[in-house]
Structures are given as structure tokens and as C-alpha cells.
Amino acid sequence: MKTYLFYDIETTGLNKAFDQILHFAAIRTDLNFNELKRYELIVKLNPDVIPSPEAMLVHRMKLSDVANGISEYEAIQKIHAWMNEPGTISLGYNTLGFDDEFLRFSFYRNLLPPYTHQYANQCCRMDIYPIVVLYYLFKNSAIAWPEVHGSVSLKLEDINNANKFVTGRSHHAMVDVESTIALSKQLIKEREMWDYVCGNFDKKIEQVRLKKINTESALMVLGKFGFKQKYQSQVLPLGEHVHYKNQILFLRLDDKNFTAATKENILESTFVVRKKLGEAGFLFPFTERYTYCLDAERLALANVNKQWLKDNEALLTFVSDYHRHYEYPAVPDIDVDASLYVNGFWTSEEAMFCREFHSAAPDKKSKMIETVQNPNLSALAIRILGRHFPECLNSGQAEYFKNYIAQINNNATAPIIDYKGAARLTPKIALQKIAEARNENSLDCEQIGLLNNLEFRLHAT
């Protein structure tokens, strides 16, 4: 049976490779949003994670609350099982923009298959946020749209408040899940619209739809374009990426820098959207039925750029080839926790080790690690023991984990880097952020207490 699993996470920060979940909440429903089951987990802080002060101010979770939570290792195994229950459609508000990838890294560093919830056992993913963008443009009467500082806000908390869906504090995982379900119940009243937009999350359906769209230009709807751009842009399909087979490239035609493009300044003068099938960046024919929100100035700019492309066919070919062959710059010394996209999938033997590692008693896991040939797999397994079963580490493993923690806490050593080149948060930087937060924000008593407690913890490391 197909079911929806609406979920939300609150985390120690925004770094998907290095931060961790502190609060997970989910509600499983049938396809008419009738509740079937609830799940909720408070997760203990890992010894190698420094919470971001900004995140603590947003979700307001106390360190004393998470101290009594379950281990990340146990929590992630539960979440993985729930999301991989056959027929599960996992979704939430902006989950494909943040939560899903965060979970992917959490699965990876805990030696669980990071992608199976996307395709195995009739499982798949959706996201309510890009659906809301489409409703705002094409079914505007579906809900009340909040205005903040003169612009429509598509933040979940603002939509919830404007429509009075549920009560409770926003950025509380279960409250946000309840808000998302209430919003979905309102959207599905426009059943034809709902069924159509849900089809965009099916790769096969979206692929068929893309083939029917004029290849000379199309309308892309994407939340990242923003309110001022009406979440829309006229785009030119460039085709699939040569190296990254899951990417289809689209060149924006409403860029003011377009006609200044040369072979030397392609990155600065052209804007390409890298779209994945079944994810946001939905395409529509460039017809009046869909483009009525675009103002005359942007339409005129796109027409000028289209004509310029016709007059510069050789440069268009160069632009297309450049972007279709462009590879992300290599980042040296990526930390093993952040190496999901670098090292590829485990071999069948390594995957079997992961399964046996999970089922083994803690005191057996250390000896199992000694048999592993892959240094990345070995390091991930040692870190699991160090975080959750430190008493089971042998002397060599304990020394490795001690040095790893020292590297995080010792600002004199080289920073720990993720796959984008971003450094792992250190106590020194976190203390600087606390000072900035006190100076730059109007904080209430609860937030001041949160920062004070975090500061005390950081000084103790």
C-alpha cells in the first residue's frame, strides 16, 4: 500500500555532512492524508558535533533536552527503516531542498544505504514547497497568501499563521509536520491540479512531459528564482550533462548580462539551471496560459537575448558545450564524513560488512573493523564506535578517534573540509558566532539562556 510519510528535522546546523539531527518527527498517512502512525525522536548530541548558535536560536532546543535523547546511530537506523518501508512516499516542506540530502549524509556516515528510499520497494520522494510555488502562480485562490514586508512569503510558518492551520511553535519538528499536512489537505481540494503536480515528482512522467515542450524555449518555475522574479524564468534547454548523467541543463534567457557573453566570461555572463528529473525546476510550454505573470520588461529582455543567440550561433554552441562539460572543481582532503559523492557506492562485500556490522554486538564491532580493506569504510566504522561505543575501541582505534576530536577542537590544525570546501565548525568559531548573535539580534530570555548554555559547553571542550 502506498503511504505518505510527512517528516521534518531540526538540526545542529546547516552543514549536511557535519551537522546532525536533534529532533525528527513524522506522520504516516494514507493518500487522502488520514493519519496512520506518528514517529518522534529526540537525538543525543554527538561528541564530535559543535552546534551552530544560529540553529539553536531558531529551533530553541536546549542542550539539556537532547542530553536524554537516543544516540544518532540508533535514531538514523530507525529513520532509515521508516523511510524505506515499502510504498513510502517521503515528503515535507522543502525536504528536497534540505532535509533529504541531510538524511542522505546521515545514512552514509552510519553505514546505511543512502539512496534506497528514493527508488527501492516502490519508495519515492516529493516536496510540498515547489507544489506551493505552482499553486501560488496557477491556483492562487487555494489558500491565503501571507505578505511580509510587502512581498508574499512562502515560508511554512507564515502560511500556517495566515491560514490558522495548526497551533504551536514553528521550527518544532512535529508542529511543522502537522502544518504541512494541513496545508496539503487544503491544496488537494484542487484535485486535478494536485494530481498533475504530483506527477512532476515521477521521473518517467516528467520525462514524457519534457519531450512535449518546445525545445527553443520553455518556462521554468523554481522557488530559488524568488518572489520578485515571480518564481519563473524563460529558459533554453541545453541537453543532458556529459559527466553528471542525472542533470539536464537549461540556460536562462532573461539575464541582463547575456549579450555581454564571450568565450572568456561564460560563467559570469550566463546562468544555467541544473535540473534533476523528479525534482524542483518544473517546465511548462512558453504560452500565455503559463506566462501571464511575467512582466513586459522581462519578456522583452528574453526576446532580445533569443535574437542575439540566433545571431551568434557559434557562441551558443560554445556556451552549451562549456556548461555540458563543466565539472565541479576538485576539493582536496575531503573528510570521510563528507565523501558520499566522491567515493561512490560500496562494493557488494563492503555492503555486506555494513549489514553485519549493524547486527553485531558492540564488543564484536571493533574486531570486525580490523578486517576492512577500504580505509574510508574503516574510518566511518571507527567513528561510529567512538561516538556511541567508545569502550569498545581497541588502542589503535581509540588513538585515531582521540586525534580526530582534537583536530575539531584544536584551531591550530588544518580545518576539516566538506565536499564543497566548507570547514567544519570549531569551538572558536562558534564562540565568535555567539558574540555576534548577542550584538546583532534582539534576543528574548529563552534565546539568551540557550547561548549562555552553549557558551559554557564550548569553554568546557
Main-chain phi, psi angles of 302, to 5 degrees = -65, -40
Residues 426, 415: Cα–Cα separation, whole Å: 9
145-169 residue pLDDT tens: 999 988 999 999 999 999 999 999 8
Span 357-368, mean pLDDT? 95
CA-wise closest residue to 273 among 243, 232, 308: 232
pTM: 0.94
Give residue 430's Cα distance to chain centre.
23
Counting beta carbons within 10 angstroms of the beta carbon of residue 235, is it exposed (0 to 12), middle (13 to 18) or buried (19 or more)?
buried
Residues 82, 258: Cα–Cα separation, whole Å: 47
Looking at the predicted structure, is the pLDDT value of residue 229 above 80? yes
Check if the beta carbon of residue 373 is closer than 8 Å to that of residue 350: no
Residues 84, 120: Cα–Cα separation, whole Å: 8
Average pLDDT value for the chain: 93
Check if the beta carbon of residue 107 is closer than 8 Å to that of residue 76: yes
Outline where 270-328 has alpha helix (H). Answer: 288-291, 296-311, 313-325
Most confidently predicted of 59-63, 177-181, 298-302: 177-181
CA-wise closest residue to 254 among 238, 274, 232: 232
Cβ burial 160-190 (10 Å sphere, 16+ → b, else e) = bbbbebbeeebbbbbbbbbbbbbbbeebbeb
CA angle at 258 for the pair 254 and 259, rounded to the nearest 5°:
125
245-293 residue pLDDT tens: 889 999 999 888 888 878 888 878 888 999 999 999 999 998 888 888 8
Q: What is the pLDDT of residue 113?
A: 97
Q: What is the pLDDT of residue 309?
A: 86
